[in-house]
Amino acid sequence: MKRLLGLLAATGLVASTSITVVACSDNDEVVIFDSIELSNEKLSTDVKNITIAEFIEGKDSLIFESNAATGKSIITTSQLTKFNASTLKTDVKIGLKEITTALAQDINEEITIKYENTVLGKIVVKIKSGTTNLEAPQVPTINLVGAENVSIDLINENKVKAVTISNHTELGKILVTSNNTDVASVSESAGTITLTGVGVGSAKITVSSSVDGVLDVFFNVQILDSTQIPIPEIILDGAEDVKINLSSEDKTKTVVISNYTELGEILVTSNNTDIATVSEFAGTITLTGVGVGITEIIVSSSIGEIQNK
């Protein structure tokens, strides 16, 4: 050990935590440059400052030898800086060979580093069980088109609606079920889900895939019978005795449809635009005076209708 320490002092090296000396006998000493561990969190690492004593012309690279059986090593080694007369130091990158499948158990390898015929030392590598550099397969998601606010009116001759699975070719076998077949039945073919109304109510539709890891998706279908749906009244605020003074600066008045959100599409018309014009936005009716007289304003809904003069 005294001889090694003397050599370190003579060359000006400082002992670091990454270098270990294993003394096998008085004449057999091996430097362990580093002991490293590879895992899925760290698939490669650099071992710093591998140094040669002097450069040999034409010899710019290290030699790496694994203690694994021939052809069985799963470690890659690469020298990051080539040697020359003024560059005697390099880092070495340690990693996994390409297409290394997940390991069933821990693997240990020792990499012996040589320069020409001289052994410089070793790197001890442990690869943890489960480590792999293969990318995990991407798990698809079920993509539905037309699954928002699905409703079927039983009064219609055609009591079906279709929802499309846009990526059905990625999903293997597809299973589609209804949790209430008294309300809606369901079938699927080539990525098209066919919903058939059976009775009034709602049903939850579940779409599943045979591909591992794919999450089920759900949507609701509402089955209606419009002959049984009460027609809502159009409720107007401020529609009593609406008068506009043409001599005033502001020749407009407003009337509010207080329940406009229940009424679907709304249409407001004036039966005499020479007297008053009318417009509607978000439940507010704006009346603009044009000429003297009386006109009737009609407020219509896709569900119901009311008139006001």
Q: What is the pLDDT of residues 76-131, one digit of tens each?
A: 999 999 999 999 999 999 999 887 888 999 999 999 999 998 999 999 999 999 99
This prediction has a pTM of 0.42
Question: Count of CB atoms within 10 A of residue 54's CB?
Answer: 8
φ and ψ at 241, to 5 degrees?
50, 55
Q: Please name every residue paired with 22 in a beta bridge, in sequence order, or none if there are none.
A: 30
Please give the DSSP secondary-structure letter assigned to residue 113. Answer: E
| Spatial contact of 52 and 88, defined as CB atoms under 8 Å apart | yes
Cα torsion 48, 52, 54, 59: sign:
negative
- The C-alpha atoms of residue 45 and residue 131 are separated, in whole angstroms, by 14
CA dihedral for 66, 70, 75, 80, sign (positive or negative): positive
The β-bridge partners of 270 are: 297
The residue to which tokens 């890659």 are assigned: 76
Element (H, E) at 9: helix 2-11
Question: How far apart are alpha carbons 282 and 266 in whole angstroms?
Answer: 9
249 membership: H or E segment, kind and range: none
Q: For residue range 213-271, what is the model confidence (pLDDT) as tens digits?
A: 899 999 999 998 877 766 678 889 988 888 898 888 888 999 999 888 887 788 899 99
Q: In 3D, which of 195, 136, 144 has the Cα closest to residue 171?
A: 144
- Count of beta carbons in the 10 Å neighbourhood of residue 257: 23
pLDDT digits (tens, 9 = 90+) for 166-224: 999 999 999 999 999 999 999 999 999 999 999 999 999 999 999 988 999 999 999 98
- Domains of the chain are 2-127 (2.60.40), 161-228 (2.60.40.1080), 236-308 (2.60.40)
